Chain A
Amino acid sequence: MRFARERLLVDSGRQQGGYNRSMRRVYMDNNATSPLLPEALEAMRPYLGERFGNASSIHHHGQQTRAAVERARESVAKLLNCRAAEIVFTSGGTEADNLAVFGMVHGGDHVISSTIEHHAVLNSCHRLEKMGAIVTYVPVDGRGVIDPEDVRRALRPNTRLISIMMANNETGVLQPVESIGGIATEADVYFHTDAVQAAGKCVIDVQKIGCDLLSISGHKMHAPQGTGVLYVRKGTLLDPLFYGGNHERQRRAGTENVPGIVALGKAAEIAVEAFGNGEVARLEALRDRLQQGILNAVDETGVNGEGAPRVPTTTNIHFDHIEGEALIIALDLKGLAVSTGAACSSGALEPSHVLMAMGLASERARASVRFSLGKLNTAEDVDFALSLIPPTVARLRELSPVYKKHLVIGS
């Protein structure tokens, strides 16, 4: 049996059947995860090898890893404009969101969130409701933007927490978090913002936002998966999710992921530089060219979130009369990796709750595709995408019964 299997794999070759490994592959799904930067990899490498140690140990090995963790903490604090002591390292954005929500809210409390949150917040809120909390989900307008006045109107005497994201993962639309922070301060309510999709893409200043809690994720900003941060404003008391040792000032038990944290620190430093050295502007120009190129070359398309402030790396485009899912597969088979919103547990795509909340018809929501750029994307990548997308969409439409019907009615 073993022999047969090996022979099959050898015989299969690469020229016909199977994956073509030598095919050019362009990655434009950085909102799902982003590649580790070489600098971040170099920074973490010693801590995977000779510089091992438990940061809580008193000996030399512990001391050198402790120092590395604290340096990274300072780097992240600079990215967010806060004190190092306010940074809690977590296993990722989801844990940071859960820590913020379950650390602050108890049964009987009222919470204000929104209809377009990431599932890390949305499903946490659903769990809160089962625990006896009341959650108000404020809506968005057609551009995907929350009206801060809706947040104000939703306030109740027992409102404990407002959790509204800074940038949406699917559309890249930025929320008026500074206004919401002002309302939270006035009402003396805690304010958490999920800034996972904002980190590294736009300036995050927790002082200006006026938030008490803010989540970021390492792998969305070119650090490794399995790292994240919850900013906790000094004086904000939150219950831990995990019980164990006294790590992270008793806010997050568990031995620190030293290599991951070191890489996250490096990625944070590079992210800070990117605002000054033209890198963010470069990505925005690439995104704009990609977006405009698609709109020019393909009929019956549009940008979801048009007219709203957005992060500079993301565009979400609807290609009417096709299934976005089929477009994603067709493009992947030609070497371009893009996506729509969330995948369900089987790996199939779910209809986007974000686009539906914006009032898109379900057909248009299903016809939408997200392009999200990252630091490793180049002008050639955009050219490649623009060479593939129009003919691929044309083929899909040619074979789409919905499109044929539309043409008949249109004529």
Chain B
Amino acid sequence: MSGGVDSSTVAAMLRAEGHTIVGLTMQLWNQRRLAGHEGMPEQVRGRCCSIDDVYDARRVAETLDIPYYVVNHEQRFEQDVVRPFVEEYLSGRTPVPCSLCNNHLKFDQLLITAQQIGADTLATGHYARIEFNPASERWNLLRGVDRSRDQSYFLFGLTQEQLSRTIFPLGNMVKPEVREKARALGLSPVTSEKPDSQEICFVPGGDYKKFIDAYLAEQGEALPDTAGELVTPSGKVMGEHGGIHHFTVGQRKGLGVATGSPLYVLEIRGNQKQVVVGAGDELHSTTLRARRINLISVAGLEQPMRVTAKIRHRHEPASATAQQTGDDEITMTFDQPQRAITPGQAVVLYDGDNVVGGGWII
């Protein structure tokens, strides 16, 4: 329970159905930890793990008359989400912390805690669906009915075991229905009308560069010198940059060079500290490779498979062929060139609404 409308409504729905439920909130990050560091706000309100949100979740649990606990997973979160987030950026990749959190915290540590305290099932407020397919004898993950809020992209790493013990009661609902349900089940307007959260929960204000600076300063670590050259694909030096973690593939603003036509980041060469820039049409590519693969609807990819694929959360799935090209590697070949394929992001494969699986773009 985050204190937001989605998880609160899930709790209220399950309560109304007569299930025995326990509310859990994960304390993942101390929002005050970096307060006072340069570029960090002193006070953060209405964010994941803020005291206000825990207070809201507790109030919901009181209203529903259910036991409620806050569990501290700060150590795991820092180790498995925050550290990799910082390191990915410093290596020139663009990470997806929400997927890491789902894989390592919500559906791993929290699910274990839930089972340990006697629960059979973990219920969350994610917009996605889980169904058992008797034919394949596999648990399938499907896109949420509310397409604008579908979170299946962030859930591609769930294992069969995790899926079998999880339910997403909002998967068949759209957000207005969820808010209506919250009202109908007697949750207060504080909950039912609470605005959506948007940004990365541990990065206040959404400025990840300032977060990385502040985090490394807090850790007593110097920011590695990743400054280097801006080059064209053919190797012509266009200028200098202050550090590769300031860039992401497809970025146009803030390159610090002026030419007649707009320039985009095409590639970040972490080893050489080079940022490759070029014209917008050079951003498009038809293939990508991904590793650390997790398959959901199928056990293996023995044959090339026709799928649609998302290369970032906000990406219209594009037709492609997926092929196993290594022990733990797939290669995707898109029918049409895709803009800004970004290492560090996940590629998630769909067969209709079904998530086939996914992996991390290299």
Contacts from A to B (Cβ < 8 Å): 1, 4-6, 8-9, 11-12, 16-19, 322-323, 325-326, 329-330, 332-333, 344-351, 362, 395-396, 399-401
Residue of A whose beta carbon sits closest to that of B58: A347
Is the C-beta of B290 less than 8 angstroms from some C-beta in chain A? no
Tell me whether B72 and A348 are in contact (CB under 8 A). yes
Residues of chain A lying within 8 A (CB to CB) of residue B186:
1, 4-6, 8-9
Is the C-beta of B328 less than 8 angstroms from some C-beta in chain A? no
- Compute how far the CA of A345 lies from the CA of B183 in the bound complex, rounded to whole angstroms: 29
- Compute how far the CA of A192 lies from the CA of B25 in the bound complex, rounded to whole angstroms: 39
Residues of chain B lying within 8 A (CB to CB) of residue A322:
116
Which one of B59-67, B194-202, B245-253 contacts A? B59-67
Is the C-beta of B295 less than 8 angstroms from some C-beta in chain A? no
- Compute how far the CA of A210 lies from the CA of B107 in the bound complex, rounded to whole angstroms: 56
The listed residue (B49, B117, B184) touching A326 by CB distance below 8 A is B117
Is the C-beta of B260 less than 8 angstroms from some C-beta in chain A? no
Knowing A323-B113, A347-B70, A348-B70, say if A16 contacts B20 (CB, 8 Å): yes
Knowing A347-B54, A399-B112, say if A18 contacts B185 (CB, 8 Å): no
Near A by CB (< 8 A), chain B positions 39-89 give 49, 51, 54, 58, 63-67, 69-72, 74-75
Tell me whether B184 and A4 are in contact (CB under 8 A). yes
Tell me whether B21 and A330 are in contact (CB under 8 A). no
Listed A/B pairs (8) with beta-carbon separation below 8 Å = A1-B183, A1-B186, A5-B63, A16-B19, A18-B66, A329-B71, A330-B118, A351-B75
The listed residue (B27, B63, B113, B117) touching A333 by CB distance below 8 A is B117
Residues of chain A lying within 8 A (CB to CB) of residue B112:
399-401
Tell me whether A399 and B116 are in contact (CB under 8 A). yes
User: Most chain-B Cβ atoms within 10 A of its Cβ — which of A11, A333, A347?
Assistant: A347
Tell me whether B66 and A17 are in contact (CB under 8 A). yes
Tell me whether A333 and B118 are in contact (CB under 8 A). yes
Residue of A whose beta carbon sits closest to that of B108: A401
A-B contact count (CB 8 A): 97
Tell me whether B15 and A346 are in contact (CB under 8 A). no
Tell me whether B27 and A330 are in contact (CB under 8 A). no
Tell me whether B71 and A17 are in contact (CB under 8 A). no
CB distance from A394 to the nearest CB of B (A): 11
Residue of A whose beta carbon sits closest to that of B115: A399
Residues of chain A lying within 8 A (CB to CB) of residue B217:
none
Knowing A329-B69, A329-B71, say if A400 contacts B116 (CB, 8 Å): yes
The listed residue (A11, A323, A332, A346) touching B70 by CB distance below 8 A is A346
Tell me whether A348 and B71 are in contact (CB under 8 A). yes
- Compute how far the CA of A362 lies from the CA of B79 in the bound complex, rounded to whole angstroms: 15
Residues of chain A lying within 8 A (CB to CB) of residue B51:
345-346
Knowing A326-B117, A346-B54, say if A12 contacts B65 (CB, 8 Å): yes
Tell me whether A333 and B22 are in contact (CB under 8 A). yes
Residues of chain A lying within 8 A (CB to CB) of residue B184:
4
- Compute how far the CA of A113 lies from the CA of B22 in the bound complex, rounded to whole angstroms: 41
- Compute how far the CA of A12 lies from the CA of B27 in the bound complex, rounded to whole angstroms: 29
Is the C-beta of B223 less than 8 angstroms from some C-beta in chain A? no
The 10 closest A-B pairs by CB, nearest first: A5-B186, A348-B72, A348-B27, A348-B70, A18-B65, A347-B70, A346-B54, A330-B117, A326-B116, A396-B116
CB distance from A398 to the nearest CB of B (A): 9
CB distance from A102 to the nearest CB of B (A): 23
Is the C-beta of B16 less than 8 angstroms from some C-beta in chain A? yes
The listed residue (A1, A17, A325, A346) touching B21 by CB distance below 8 A is A17
Tell me whether B49 and A17 are in contact (CB under 8 A). no
- Compute how far the CA of A330 lies from the CA of B22 in the bound complex, rounded to whole angstroms: 11
The listed residue (B20, B54, B72, B116) touching A330 by CB distance below 8 A is B116
Is the C-beta of B18 less than 8 angstroms from some C-beta in chain A? yes
Tell me whether B25 and A346 are in contact (CB under 8 A). yes
Residues of chain A lying within 8 A (CB to CB) of residue B64:
8, 18
- Compute how far the CA of A396 lies from the CA of B72 in the bound complex, rounded to whole angstroms: 17
- Compute how far the CA of A345 lies from the CA of B74 in the bound complex, rounded to whole angstroms: 14
Residues of chain B lying within 8 A (CB to CB) of residue A348:
25, 27, 70-72, 74
Residues of chain B lying within 8 A (CB to CB) of residue A345:
51
CB distance from A365 to the nearest CB of B (A): 11
Tell me whether A332 and B27 are in contact (CB under 8 A). no
User: Most chain-A Cβ atoms within 10 A of its Cβ — which of B19, B117, B118?
Assistant: B117
- Compute how far the CA of A8 lies from the CA of B69 in the bound complex, rounded to whole angstroms: 22
Residues of chain B lying within 8 A (CB to CB) of residue A400:
112, 116
The listed residue (A1, A9, A17, A346) touching B18 by CB distance below 8 A is A17
Tell me whether B66 and A19 are in contact (CB under 8 A). yes
Residue of A whose beta carbon sits closest to that of B53: A346
